[in-house]
């Protein structure tokens, strides 16, 4: 099946600048200083927390298009696209107000267990790395299947915490949108026995959007050789590396092959890339391709529009026109690396 995987973060290399961002954070209602507020560049491992007086200081990274995020459990998360020119000297966080549960016209026929199965698979992925990942607060994720639209949606009451033991990361993920589309199964010609679970739907596509922050799961392990090897392995097969090589014109040089209509084709005849500032504008001749990487992992690219806008680090910025299938789409959150990761 074709899986739509959307990530709301931008993979741009970070260049350390002498400038820093300073601020003070208080409760908007009581004006009391807030300690332990998370302040970070979304999608990276670059972050800090406020001290007892609500003060923070963090280095600014020039040319980063990563969203600057301020969050604390129980408060409304705030994001800033231009933090260097924002006044944080008296930033107030609004406490979250409890919402009444939604009333649905059509009841959800699926069990929580069934929905969790789909959510875990489409959120964490299906590769070997995903088997080494655990969602620590799965009970905070709300899921619903709509029998009229045949779509399953999910949202989280708080940031989702993922323990990735393979890559040694504790990932905090702010899920803003999650959807799986299904098609109903016709049981007309299906022979059903009493012992089997009757299939009612099959999955067509999935996507999710969110922002992430990475911390080392175990500081002692972070310098160990096996962690470096695992992260390097994950990066080599990642979606961002694939699109980075396409944008830079190094696709074939690094052992990738482009396939159209079951035939291997020359990249120059099908893909044109132009550099525009810190971005690449990439045009495709066709809307569907298969890709084989140097390790013989097969993936697929499906385009709703023939043009992609790609960052220096390989993140597709107009991600809604892109679907990926095969191996790269199976990595999902379990295969994610922070934006400031650099392969040794």
How would DSSP label each residue in 170-220? EEEEEEEEEEEEEEEPP-TT----TTSPPP-EEEEEEEEEEEEEEEES-TT
CB-facing half-sphere around the CA of 306: CA atoms within 13 A: 8
Can you tell me which residue has the tokens 């059509």?
Answer: 106
Higher-pLDDT residue of 15, 309: 309
pLDDT at 136 over 90: yes
Confidence of residue 200 (pLDDT cuts 50, 70, 90): confident
The pTM score is: 0.78
User: Residue 5 and residue 323: Cα distance in Å, rounded?
Assistant: 7
User: Does pLDDT of 182 surpass 90?
Assistant: yes
The CA distance from 88 to 340, in Å, is 24
| Cβ-Cβ contacts under 8 Å for 179 (sequence gap 6 or more) | 151, 152, 153, 154, 206, 207, 208
Neighbours of 84 (CB within 10 A): 13
- Give the model's pLDDT for residue 74: 85
Res. 197 pLDDT band, cuts 50 70 90: low
First to last CA, the chain: 34
Instruction: Name residue 303's beta-bridge partners.
Output: 322
Whether the per-residue pLDDT at 99 is higher than 60: the answer is: no
Residue 63's pLDDT band (boundaries 50, 70, 90)? low
**pLDDT number for residue 9:** 38
pLDDT at 290: 94
Query: CA–CA separation, 126 vs 164, rounded Å?
Result: 14
Task: Output the average pLDDT for the chain.
Answer: 86
Token digits for 219?
Answer: 């500081």
Residue 118: the pLDDT is: 95
Choose between 188 and 200: higher pLDDT. 200
Regarding beta strands 169-184 and 160-164, do their DSSP bridges make them parallel or antiparallel, or are they unpaired?
A: antiparallel
Q: Please give the Cα distance from 142 to 158 (Å, whole number).
A: 10
The rounded Cα 269 to chain-centroid distance in angstroms is 31
Question: Residue 68 in 3-state DSSP?
Answer: strand
Tokens at 318, concatenated? 């107009």
pLDDT at 186: 74
Please state, for a pLDDT cut of 70, what percent of the chain lies above it.
88
The pLDDT of residue 120: 97
pLDDT at 190: 57
Is the pLDDT reported for residue 330 higher than 80?
Answer: yes
CB proximity list for 334: less than 8 A, separation 6 or greater: 124, 125, 127, 129, 130, 132, 133, 162, 164, 166
Domain boundaries, the chain: 15-93, 112-216, 237-335
| CATH code linked to domain 15-93 | 2.60.40.1120
The pLDDT confidence band at residue 1, using thresholds 50, 70 and 90, is very low
Mean pLDDT for 6-15 is 38
Structure tokens at 146: 């709509």
Burial class (CB in 10 A: 0-12, 13-18, 19+), 247: buried
Residue 11: its pLDDT value, please? 37
76-90, 91-105, 249-263, 316-330: least confidently modelled range: 91-105
Q: What is the pLDDT of residues 272-291, one digit of tens each?
A: 999 988 789 999 999 999 99
Mean of the pLDDT values across residues 67-71? 90
**Average pLDDT value for residue range 142-164:** 93
- Taking the C-alpha atoms of residue 313 and residue 24, their distance in angstroms, rounded to an integer, is 32
DSSP output for 128-172: TTGGGEEETTGGGEEEEEETTTTEEEEEESSPEEEEETTTTEEEE
Of 131 and 10, the structure prediction assigns the larger pLDDT to: 131
Confidence band, pLDDT 50/70/90 cuts, at residue 160: very high
Strand pairing partners for 78? 70
């Amino acid at each position: 099946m074709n899986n739509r995987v959307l990530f709301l973060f931008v993979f741009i290399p970070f260049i350390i600048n002498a400038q820093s961002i300073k601020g003070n954070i208080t409760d908007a209602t009581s004006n009391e200083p807030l300690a332990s507020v998370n302040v970070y560049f979304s999608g990276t491992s670059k972050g800090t927390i406020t001290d007892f007086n609500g003060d923070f200081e963090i280095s600014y990274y020039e040319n980063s298009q990563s969203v600057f995020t301020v969050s604390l459990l129980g408060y409304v998360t705030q994001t800033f696209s231009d933090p260097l020119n924002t006044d944080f000297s008296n930033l107030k966080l609004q406490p979250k107000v409890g919402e009444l549960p939604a009333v649905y016209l059509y009841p959800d026929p699926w069990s929580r267990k069934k929905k969790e199965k789909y959510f875990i698979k489409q959120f964490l992925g299906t590769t070997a790395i995903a088997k080494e990942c655990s969602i620590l607060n799965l009970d905070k994720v709300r899921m619903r299947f709509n029998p009229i639209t045949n779509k399953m949606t999910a949202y989280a009451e708080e940031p989702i915490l993922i323990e990735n033991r393979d890559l040694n990361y504790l990932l905090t993920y702010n899920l803003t949108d999650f959807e799986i589309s299904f098609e109903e199964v016709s049981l007309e010609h299906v022979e059903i026995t009493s012992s089997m679970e009757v299939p009612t739907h099959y999955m067509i596509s999935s996507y999710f959007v969110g922002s992430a922050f990475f911390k080392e799961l175990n500081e002692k392990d972070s310098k160990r050789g096996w962690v470096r090897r695992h992260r390097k392995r994950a990066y080599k097969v990642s979606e961002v590396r694939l699109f980075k090589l396409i944008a830079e014109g190094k696709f074939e040089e690094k052992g990738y092959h482009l396939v159209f209509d079951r035939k291997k084709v020359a990249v120059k005849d099908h893909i044109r890339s132009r550099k525009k500032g810190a971005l690449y504008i990439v045009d495709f001749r066709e809307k569907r391709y298969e890709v084989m990487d140097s390790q013989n992992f097969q993936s697929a690219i499906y385009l709703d529009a023939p043009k992609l806008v790609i960052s220096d680090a390989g993140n597709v910025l107009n991600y809604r026109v892109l679907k990926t299938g095969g191996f790269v789409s199976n990595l999902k959150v379990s295969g994610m690396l922070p934006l400031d990761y650099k392969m040794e």
